């Protein structure tokens, strides 16, 4: 069958034919109504939306045309901004290393003292060397007295009152929790030290209390560490930032001085004070963890001067 021949034409032989619009369809570009040849939208709107007619976004910025696909983010006013356990975030694994290390060191000291291990031998040798040092006895006695309950507890009481007053004045919802945690930590010192003393029943070093037992751990060292340490943790947020680190350093030096005075005067062996620091560190860690709950609503304690 012979096909009907088609006309062979070139681009210059025929005039261009404009596309004819079909019913119900709109062309993307047609000749303007004024015949200027500029393209415009088929619905009669200008080719671009004027800048002043653009709709702004949620925060006042110009919107996107066309809209970006996706569901808009809806902020429910009734949804909680942060979970209740947000203040316990510091209790993650890295923070748990501190109490675990303290427990391990306390267990090591207790085991060596109870089993008459080599660490006890070195401890007693070091204790005799410190008791015969050149530190004057009156100075050592004064430093040891800083661990007395009659001296350390009033210092903590003043810090408790001041921290509670400042927190309540700042409008914190749980202003009472940090002072209460510090008071409980202080009350827990004899509850932990006395059973330890009775269980280990370690004899004392040569000195004023020679012949007696129940020296491990040191009650004076634990009292000083918890009282002064808790007072520093309570007052630290109220101080200027440049004074916070010196305060903690001063408390650490003070506790070292108390331990040196106790060993120099023959009231304790060195490991007695080390075990007390381990117990005190656990109590202060628990106090600090409980105190962070008071900031669970996102409020922070105000400090004068930043």
What pLDDT sits at residue 296?
Answer: 53
Phi, psi of 203, deg, nearest 5: -70, 150
What pLDDT sits at residue 48?
Answer: 56
What pLDDT sits at residue 236?
Answer: 93
What pLDDT sits at residue 172?
Answer: 83
CA distances from 201 to 86, 181, 273 (A): 43, 30, 15
What pLDDT sits at residue 95?
Answer: 72
Phi-psi region for residue 55, left (φ > 0), alpha (ψ -120 to 50) or beta? beta
What pLDDT sits at residue 79?
Answer: 43
d(C-alpha 288, C-alpha 64), whole Å: 49
What pLDDT sits at residue 303?
Answer: 42
d(C-alpha 215, C-alpha 227), whole Å: 20
Buried b (16+ CB within 10 A) or exposed e, 16-48: eeeeeeeeeeeeeeeeeeeeeeeebeeeeeeee
Q: Bridge partners of 240?
A: none
Mean pLDDT per block of 10 residues along the chain (306 residues) reads 48 51 49 48 53 50 51 46 38 73 96 96 95 92 96 97 92 89 96 94 89 93 98 94 95 97 96 97 93 57 41
What residues contact 153, with CB distance under 8 A and at least 6 apart? 186, 223, 227
Q: Tally Cβ neighbours within 10 Å of residue 83.
A: 10
DSSP category for residue 52: G
Nearest in space to 200 (alpha carbons), one of 261, 131, 117, 141: 117
What pLDDT sits at residue 28?
Answer: 45
What pLDDT sits at residue 67?
Answer: 53
CA distances from 302 to 134, 171, 213, 291, 305 (A): 46, 10, 48, 15, 9
Q: Which helix H or strand E contains 185, and what residues bound it?
A: helix 177-200
pTM over 0.85: no
């Amino acid at each position: 069958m012979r096909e009907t021949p088609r006309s062979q034409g070139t681009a210059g032989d025929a005039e261009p034919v404009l596309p004819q619009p079909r019913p119900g369809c709109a062309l993307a570009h047609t000749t303007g109504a004024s015949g200027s040849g500029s393209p415009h939208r088929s619905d009669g709107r200008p080719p671009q939306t004027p800048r002043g007619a653009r709709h702004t976004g949620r925060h006042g910025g110009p919107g996107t045309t066309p809209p970006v696909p996706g569901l808009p983010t809806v902020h429910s006013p009734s949804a909680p901004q942060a979970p209740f356990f947000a203040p316990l975030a510091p209790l993650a694994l890295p923070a748990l290393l501190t109490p675990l290390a303290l427990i391990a060191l306390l267990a090591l000291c207790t085991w060596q003292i109870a089993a008459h291990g080599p660490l006890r031998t070195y401890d007693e040798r070091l204790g005799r060397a410190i008791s015969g040092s050149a530190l004057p006895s009156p100075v050592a006695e004064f430093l040891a007295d800083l661990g007395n309950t009659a001296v350390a507890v009033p210092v903590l009481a003043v810090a408790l009152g001041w921290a509670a007053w400042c927190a309540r004045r700042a409008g914190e919802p749980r202003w009472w929790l940090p002072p209460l945690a510090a008071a409980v930590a202080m009350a827990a010192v004899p509850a932990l030290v006395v059973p330890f003393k009775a269980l280990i029943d370690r004899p004392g070093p040569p000195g004023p209390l020679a012949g007696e037992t129940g020296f491990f751990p040191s009650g004076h060292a634990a009292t000083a560490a918890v009282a002064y340490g808790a007072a520093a943790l309570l007052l630290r947020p109220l101080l200027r930032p440049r004074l916070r680190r010196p305060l903690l350093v001063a408390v650490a030096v003070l506790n070292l001085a108390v331990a040196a005075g106790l060993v120099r005067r023959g009231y304790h062996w060195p490991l007695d004070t080390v075990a007390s620091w381990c117990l005190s560190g656990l109590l202060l860690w628990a106090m600090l963890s409980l105190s962070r709950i008071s900031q669970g609503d996102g409020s922070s304690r105000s400090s004068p001067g930043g």
